[in-house]
């Protein structure tokens, strides 16, 4: 292993190793997101959920939702967007013409 490879290995060793817990029958939605969504897009979803729960909801913040792509034809309007709007989680929406 060359000097550059060893230096690169040490650099990545500074980060904690991902060790997500298994999904059990009694895990809550919050624990599921906090303990298993750690990398890539799952990690970004986790960050978004934490941002909403810690910064926006307690302070009665305004929540905007931007949409692109064909989400409504895929069934997300009926299954996700409308219930979130009725529950008061979304204050405004900006969407492309595909929705």
Tens place of pLDDT for every residue, the chain, 99 residues?
555 656 556 666 776 776 766 778 888 888 888 877 777 888 888 898 888 788 777 677 788 888 888 877 788 888 888 888 898 888 899 988 776
Q: What are phi and psi of 11, to 5 degrees?
A: -60, -45
| d(C-alpha 48, C-alpha 54), whole Å | 10
- Which residues, including other chains, have CB under 8 Å from residue 54's CB and lie 6 or more apart? none
Angle (deg, nearest 10), helices 40-51 and 29-36: 130
* Measured distance CA(88)–CA(56) in Å, rounded: 13
Domain boundaries, the chain: 20-59, 62-99
**Structure token pair of residue 92:** 């405004």
């Amino acid at each position: 292993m060359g000097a550059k490879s060893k230096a690169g290995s040490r650099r990545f060793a500074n980060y904690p190793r991902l060790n997500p817990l298994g999904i059990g029958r009694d895990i809550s939605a919050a624990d599921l997101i906090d303990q298993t969504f750690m990398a890539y897009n799952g990690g970004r979803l986790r960050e978004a959920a934490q941002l909403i729960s810690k910064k926006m909801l307690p302070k009665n913040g305004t929540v905007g939702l931007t949409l692109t792509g064909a989400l409504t034809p895929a069934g997300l309007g009926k299954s996700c967007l409308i219930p979130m709007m009725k529950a008061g989680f979304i204050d405004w929406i900006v969407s492309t013409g595909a929705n």
